[in-house]
């Protein structure tokens, strides 16, 4: 019997995998033995990321499509499955952030955040469910957020979307459980990513994050790889519908 965290033989699609949390998670799944397919919209960036993860190119691929485009998602997943067989693991990581006071929030920014952060995970799930059902197993890992639980000024649409991701996870888990498909979420706290560059470089915000976080620091994207591998693997075979906070303790402290 293989070790339950071993992902050998599994096909894992990670959206938004060219950089940041998605890249770190894709690398973790690769190191656990999966064949990783990196999704994004920038082919060159994805290819650089793929080569960094899989130097000999034997167990990786890229899939260039916009996760917010329903037809592109269907075609993109179909192409992956034509090349590699049904997708066993999906990490719905792709996400964007925009920051404005609520009363001035541009309608197009609201639409973009909801489309990418909430609608897209559902579209990708819809595309992979049939293949997972045929196999009687699958693991969907949605990237929620500390903001699935808490709020802060100027990011209300992101907060609403990430709150929705937590419920999307529960709803899909409930509906797909009988098919052997598990659906869980990871809720990152404040991580050192390019999405947060403006916050990291703001001395006052940086000090607030460090003071407000029991572990007194920002997270490193590689610190999400372990929980992603765990939730993707048979080690989590009876875990579904859960949201795991990886936030240095911020969500549990005042
Ligand atoms: C912000 C940040 C946060 C974090 C993360 C927390 O503007 O407060 O972007 O949203 O990035 O999502 O989970």
Residues 6 or more apart whose CB falls under 8 angstroms from that of 80 comprise 11, 13, 37, 61, 63, 87
Query: What pLDDT score was predicted for residue 1?
Result: 62
Query: What pLDDT score was predicted for residue 56?
Result: 81
When pLDDT is averaged across residues 29-34 and rounded to a whole number, the result is: 97
Q: Containing domain of residue 97, as a range?
A: 11-246
Domain assignment of residue 4, yes or no: no
Domain assignment of residue 49, yes or no: yes
Ligand 1 neighbour 97 (Cβ under 6 A): yes
Domain assignment of residue 2, yes or no: no
The residue nearest atom 9 of ligand 1, judged by CA position, is: 196
Residue among 203, 215, 225 nearest 252 (CA): 215
Query: What pLDDT score was predicted for residue 226?
Result: 98
Place of tokens 């799930």: 125
Ligand 1 neighbour 116 (Cβ under 6 A): no
Query: What pLDDT score was predicted for residue 236?
Result: 98
- Taking only the tens place, the pLDDT of each residue in 158-206 is 999 999 999 999 999 999 999 999 999 999 999 999 999 999 999 999 9
- Taking only the tens place, the pLDDT of each residue in 100-113 is 999 999 999 999 99
Could you tell me the pLDDT band of residue 57, with boundaries at 50, 70 and 90?
A: confident
Ligand 1 neighbour 137 (Cβ under 6 A): no
- Taking only the tens place, the pLDDT of each residue in 114-129 is 999 999 999 999 999 9
Domain assignment of residue 84, yes or no: yes
CATH number at residue 45: 3.40.50.720
Domain assignment of residue 251, yes or no: no
Domain assignment of residue 3, yes or no: no
**Residue from 148, 199, 245 to probe ligand 1 pocket by mutation (most atoms less than 8 Å from CB):** 199
For the entire predicted model, the pTM comes to 0.98
- Taking only the tens place, the pLDDT of each residue in 222-244 is 999 999 999 999 999 999 999 99
Give the rounded percent of residues in the chain with a pLDDT score beyond 90.
97
Ligand 1 atom closest to the CA of 154, numbered from 1: 7
Could you tell me the pLDDT band of residue 45, with boundaries at 50, 70 and 90?
A: very high
Domain assignment of residue 1, yes or no: no
Query: What pLDDT score was predicted for residue 72?
Result: 98
Domain count, the chain: 1
Query: What pLDDT score was predicted for residue 3?
Result: 80
The residue nearest atom 10 of ligand 1, judged by CA position, is: 147
DSSP per-residue string spanning the chain? ---TT--TT-EEEESS-SSHHHHHHHHHHHHTT-EEEEEES-HHHHHHHHHHH-TT-TTEEEEE--TT-HHHHHHHHHHHHHHH-S--EEEE---------GGG--HHHHHHHHIIIIIHHHHHHHHHHHHHHHHT-EEEEEE--GGGT---TT-HHHHHHHHHHHHHHHHHHHHHGGGTEEEEEEEE-SB--GGGHHHHT-HHHHHHHHHHSTT-SPBPGGGGHHHHHHHHSGGGTT--S-EEEESTTGGG--
Domain assignment of residue 252, yes or no: no
**Structure token digits, residue 39:** 């999704």
Ligand 1 neighbour 152 (Cβ under 6 A): yes
């Amino acid at each position: 019997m293989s070790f339950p965290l071993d992902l050998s033989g599994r096909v894992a699609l990670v959206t938004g995998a060219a950089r940041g949390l998605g890249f770190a998670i894709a690398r973790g799944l690769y190191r656990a033995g999966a064949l990783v397919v990196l999704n994004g919209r920038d082919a060159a960036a994805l290819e650089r990321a793929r080569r960094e993860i899989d130097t000999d190119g034997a167990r990786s691929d890229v899939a260039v499509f916009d996760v917010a485009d329903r037809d592109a998602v269907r075609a993109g997943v179909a192409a992956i499955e034509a090349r590699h067989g049904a997708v066993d693991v999906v990490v719905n990581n792709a996400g964007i952030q925009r920051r404005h006071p609520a009363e001035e929030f541009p309608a197009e920014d609201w639409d973009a955040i909801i489309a990418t952060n909430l609608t897209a995970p559902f579209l990708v799930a819809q595309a992979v469910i049939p293949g997972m059902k045929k196999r009687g197993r699958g693991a969907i890992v949605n990237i929620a957020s500390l903001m699935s639980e808490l709020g802060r000024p100027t990011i209300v649409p992101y907060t609403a979307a990430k709150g929705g991701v937590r419920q999307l996870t529960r709803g899909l888990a409930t509906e797909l459980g009988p098919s052997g498909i598990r659906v869980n979420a990871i809720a990152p706290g404040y991580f050192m990513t390019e999405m947060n560059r403006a916050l990291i470089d703001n001395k006052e915000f940086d000090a607030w994050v460090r003071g407000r976080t029991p572990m007194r620091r920002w997270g490193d994207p590689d610190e999400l790889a372990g929980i992603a591998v765990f939730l993707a693997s048979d080690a989590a075979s009876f875990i579904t519908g859960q949201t795991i906070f990886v936030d240095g303790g911020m969500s549990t402290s005042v």
